[in-house]
Copies of this chain bind each other. A is one copy, B any other.
Amino acid sequence: RYGKMEEENQVGAATGLAYTSAGGDTLSIEVTLYPGKGKLTLTGKLGDVMKESAQAAFSYIRSRAEELKIDREFHEKNDIHIHVPEGATPKDGPSAGITMATALVSALTGRAVKREVGMTGEITLRGRVLPIGGLKEKSLSAHRAGLTTIIMPADNKRDLDDIPESVKEGLTFIPVEHLDEVLEHALVEEKHESN
């Protein structure tokens, strides 16, 4: 069952889209919190670029805690662990940035992530969403996994032309410029609500 869409909306887990020489793949990003002192742990055989991407996502959220309705001192009272399963598979690149940010906000607010949504996009320290590579392959893998919505960088809109019609029919693409838009589309409205 792993590699398929989640059975329920999840709190603290979001679905990313990866692109390797072997094609596209879906990727779970898991986030958990426990009482601690603000340490951030990153695991799952992540490369340096992906780790830095997680740090950028984390800093953006810390600097915007109030607007995101997160207790401003969460990072002093908890340790945070971000893990990307299939621990033996090396993963790198900045394109999981918005997925890590979404999983973090979900864990920190208790709002669930919609299970049918996959996403891809680099995040900057200001929450901007930058373009990524391999949108076509990522879309095919999202389709295979049963996802129905893809959140993607607005700067990748031109890549939609390369995606087969049969795939595009089953998927809704949501181009975004900022993490605020990602969260708006990926998180369910109410805390702990599941559909």
> Are B52 and A44 touching (Cβ within 8 A)?
yes
Minimum distance in angstroms from A42 CB to a CB of chain B: 9
CA distance A30 to B130 in the complex (A): 14
Q: Taking the complex as formed, is A86 at the interface, i.e. its CB lies under 8 A from any CB of chain B?
A: yes
Q: Taking the complex as formed, is A168 at the interface, i.e. its CB lies under 8 A from any CB of chain B?
A: no
Specify which of A34, A44, A49, A87 lies most central, judged by the most chain B CB atoms within 10 Å of its CB.
A87
Contact among B33, B41, B73, B94 with A87 in the assembled complex (CB-CB below 8 Å): B94
Contact pattern, A 123-152, Cβ under 8 Å of B = 1, otherwise 0: 011101011000000000000000000000
> Are A130 and B2 touching (Cβ within 8 A)?
yes
> Are A131 and B2 touching (Cβ within 8 A)?
yes
CA distance A53 to B128 in the complex (A): 25
Contact among B59, B76, B128 with A32 in the assembled complex (CB-CB below 8 Å): B59
Contact among B10, B43, B53 with A55 in the assembled complex (CB-CB below 8 Å): B43
Counted per complex, copies of this chain come to 6
Q: Taking the complex as formed, is A85 at the interface, i.e. its CB lies under 8 A from any CB of chain B?
A: yes
> Are B122 and A85 touching (Cβ within 8 A)?
yes
> Are B52 and A34 touching (Cβ within 8 A)?
no
> Are B130 and A49 touching (Cβ within 8 A)?
no
Q: Taking the complex as formed, is A13 at the interface, i.e. its CB lies under 8 A from any CB of chain B?
A: yes
> Are B72 and A30 touching (Cβ within 8 A)?
no
Question: Shortest 10 CB-CB distances between A and B: which pairs?
Answer: A87-B94, A30-B125, A43-B52, A34-B62, A83-B125, A59-B81, A32-B63, A85-B124, A34-B63, A32-B125
A-B contact pairs, 13 of them (CB 8 A): A1-B155, A2-B128, A30-B124, A31-B125, A32-B63, A34-B62, A35-B73, A35-B76, A45-B49, A45-B52, A81-B125, A83-B124, A85-B125
